[in-house]
Amino acid sequence: MRRDADPTPWNTARAMAFGAVIGAVAAGFKLLAPWSAVHTFAVIAREVIGAALAFALLCGIAAALRNFITRRLMGPEIR
């Protein structure tokens, strides 16, 4: 059985935005852990911003890499 791949490029900005949201939610869950100490606002902000930036970068790189590989494998006819 052959599965047809969708050759349209992924939007890297959208992937980064979704990654930032996922990172912020993950940091929020981490900060709500019952075994962690009470945090100041600065610690919470640093944790959420750091996780959001890291996940955004990760998702953006993954989307760009997928676009690069798709362009290399399928050539210019995908545009």
List the domain range (segments joined by +) for residue 59.
12-78
Of the candidates 61, 49, 41, the one whose C-alpha atom is nearest the C-alpha of residue 23 is 49
Structural domain total, the chain: 1
Report yes or no on 3 lying in a domain. no
pLDDT of 14: 95
pLDDT for the residue numbered 61: 97
- Determine contact, residues 66/6, Cβ cutoff 8 Å: no
Helix axes 41-74, 12-31, angle to 10 degrees: 150
| Cα(31)–Cα(35) distance, integer angstroms | 10
- pTM strictly above 0.85: no
Instruction: Work out the widest C-alpha separation in the chain, in whole angstroms.
Output: 55
In a domain, 49, yes or no: yes
pLDDT at residue number 2: 46
Could you read off the pLDDT of 18-55 as tens digits, one per residue? 999 999 999 988 888 777 677 788 988 999 999 999 99
**What pLDDT, on the 0 to 100 scale, is given for residue 79?**
53
Q: Is residue 2 part of a domain?
A: no
For the record, the structure tokens of 9 come out as 């490029």
Q: What is the reported pLDDT for 3?
A: 53
Asked if the structure places residue 55 within a domain, the reply is: yes
Phi first, then psi, for residue 37 (nearest 5°) are -80, 170
In a domain, 56, yes or no: yes
